[in-house]
Amino acid sequence: MKQEIDVLKKAFCNSKTDNERNNIDLKMQLLINENPDEFAQSMADSAKDTAERATALAMRIKLESVMPAMKEDIGMVKAIKRGRTKQYTNTESFLKYLRK
């Protein structure tokens, strides 16, 4: 039943008209009538999967916004270890060095 719910969930996301959504509602009602407990468990599992994917996506977006700063910090540490910080008197010249 989980697979059927996943198919309906995708169809709902792609639906553009009220008629399409009504058809999806009817199919869901048939699944409920067929086995209410299994339907409820499958819906809960589907919601949990969606929440996990949303959390992973949010984390990736946050990391993408932080990565440039982390790269700059790592580059500065490497430059300090190599004793090359004197030639980079401002951030602009240091960033040019990192992009090489």
| Interval 7-27: pLDDT, tens | 999 999 999 999 999 999 999
List the structure tokens of 59.
Answer: 């984390």
pLDDT digits (tens, 9 = 90+) for 25-76: 999 999 999 999 999 999 999 999 999 999 999 988 887 777 766 666 676 6
* Nearest by Cα to 30 from 20, 39, 43: 39
Contact 98, 71 (CB under 8 A): yes
pTM for the structure as a whole:
0.57
Per the listing, tokens 């209410």 go with: 36
